[in-house]
Structure 1
Amino acid sequence: MKRYDVIIIGGGAAGFFAAINIAEQKPDLKVAVLERGKDVLTKVKVSGGGRCNVTHAEFIPQDLVRNYPRGERELLGPFHTFMTGDTIEWFSNRGVELKIEDDGRMFPITNSSQTIIDCFLHEAKKNGVEILKNHSVRHVEHLENHWEISANEEVFVAKKLVVASGSNPKVWKLLKHLGHSIVQPVPSLFTFNVKDKRIKDIPGVVAKDVEVKVVNSNLESEGPLLVTHVGFSAPAILKLSAFGALELAERNYKFDIEVNFIKQDKDDCLEVLKNQKQALAKKTVFNSPQFDLPKRLWYKLVEASQVSRDARWADINKQQLENLSIQLTRAIFNVDGKSTFKEEFVTAGGVNLKEVNFKTFESKLHENLFFAGEVLNIDAVTGGFNFQNAWTGAYIVAKTITNS
């Protein structure tokens, strides 16, 4: 039976961040990380296409929390304690500089997730954190003044227990045994599967700024829209998938979306088209893309409006103009299924937020039991926000433990 002051379940981003901060702030504490697999920080490795989207350049807590479909209210206070600027400083102090991209995402200047992994491994070793791989936790028991954790063939005893295991159903089951309620997990970040002749053969086309609505719901979003080999992706879709995670799961991922490719009212669009009918009378509609739309997308929408390839603007009739205005502002697409966004997998679900004290990230049911990261029912849109939740929760857990 091995004894520690703090045991952390989960060798991911939140687990390492908590362990390093605990060991740094109170070097006399004996800290161990239990990782079920043969490798640690695997999710960090694939994040951001292998570049690791560390955080997002949003520096006002009230604005930052709006990116969390679940956890918005709970994270407001914690973000006043530790948020984006603190994250940037933390990594900078350890030799890792971050850069801001045009869309606000932040990456290490090396453009490699290995930079973050190497930083964590170096800091863990420097501060005496024990990393125990291939240690799958089988049982957790809260005794009078300590925790007993059974992993594989070993039993560990710790004064304080931090659960940072991410979306791990086995750990959720253990927490349920301890009395915590678990919100059933469903996918949160995913792309939409769409088969439609209007987007067939044009994968890679991006409409830079669109509005997307789920028909017969209050779900809507805006931003770039990417045509893929199987349907739609990019921020406009991923934001919808995050905020609509529960509702879209209930619909079994079968629903219609309405896309406004130009973010204009249909009647305003029609007026522009009528003006173009006069101004571009001798030119073909096909070869006169409007509203800064990509040419290949314009071609498809013109075809869907029953306008022939050789039709001139002077030749198209009132109904065709009406059809085109609808395709541009109210195009309906049928979604039939979802696909995982790149290699990343984020879920809505986890420990019920009502059972956690967000001043300390400690369980309200058990003293000296803490949570950090996606083990909680907190998730965010794409862009580095899920990692920021991990850093914030882990930092506050460390601060709470070292101050006690």
Structure 2
Amino acid sequence: MRILYRILKMANDTIKCYLECCKSSHPKLPLPHNVPVIIGRTPELCITDKLCSRSQLELTSNCYKRYVLVKRLGANQSQINGIDIERNKSSRLEEGQDLHVVNGKYPHRVYFTGCQNDTKTEKAVVPKLPTKNTDLTKSDLSIKQPERKKIKVSENKPKVLNTKIKPQEKSSSKSVYAFDSPSPMSSRSEKKTESTKSAPAHKHWSQGLKSAMEDPELVVQEDEHIVVIKDKYPKAKYHWLILPKDSISSTKNLSTDNIELLKHILKVGHEIASEVTDQQPDVEFRFGYHAVASMSQMHMHVISQDFQSSSFKTKKHWNSFTTDYFVDAPDIINELETEGKVKDRRTMTSLLNQPLKCHRCKKPQKNIPTLKKHIESCQK
């Protein structure tokens, strides 16, 4: 027990947790292990908004398991990745996730420094002893030390942008719009090998869109306000995402100040879709947002209604684009113009478990394979 206590104490000394502002408005704030820290409208955080309580949040870090428990004490809402934190209840905040202190404002993140292998000790490498028939040499008697792995720091690649989307060529499989090659499994394995070299270990999966916005292989076009990327795992033959450059975690954090931005996003979506429909008038598109987004950066889907993709595999994939869970972009704009805010649609998650049915003829389907076959015949 004494040895374990010493190991844990050493780990507590080496692993540190910090809270940092995404806009660098104040110095990083240390969060000691298992010690509650109150944050809010204080000089340390440079927050002067009166809607933020002086004791808005209580943060308690767990340096061993590398997460922070966040309890909301204030009256107004606080969010983790766009999801509201219930009052007087603790929610888990991990590295890479966005913590908005009050009403979708003042984004912060936590990160940990130090060794993660607290309670594990490396075994010494013991060389094999020579047999009686062999002579002992100095190299045999010396214990080989384990080699240190050399980590190559890859330089940031220059950002390459497609200022104009070229129309799809039938003979080319490398078109901006084509998602038939390579297969999802092969591309996933290639991305894993690349990410192990360059991607930081503390990034959370929900931050994938933010890194994709800087990937020249995914970026289709951009301007001073938005970035257009190809969906890594498209659910249809044509599937893009349009993201604002401003940090907006979800549609729930939108205000009337964002109306012009949303109209611009929708306009760009129509322009991209027209590149396809001008050559293929039969292709239909929808433009919209998910009721409850799983990724931290807000994004509008530009998706064709053929749903021909190997990445389309589950009931949730289907229902997220063919039920009321998929909210048309003009409806979001209309809500802001008439009501001043976007409706709370968190209860709509039950729509993801609805029975499968065709989005055209509404005929029930047994499973995903039969649904895919039916879609092909129904479209004809």
Greater fraction of residues in helix: 1
TM, length-normalised to structure 1: 0.22
The two structures have a TM-score, normalised by structure 2, of 0.23
Structure of higher RCO (CA pairs closer than 8 Å, 6+ residues apart): 1
Name the one with the larger strand percent. 1
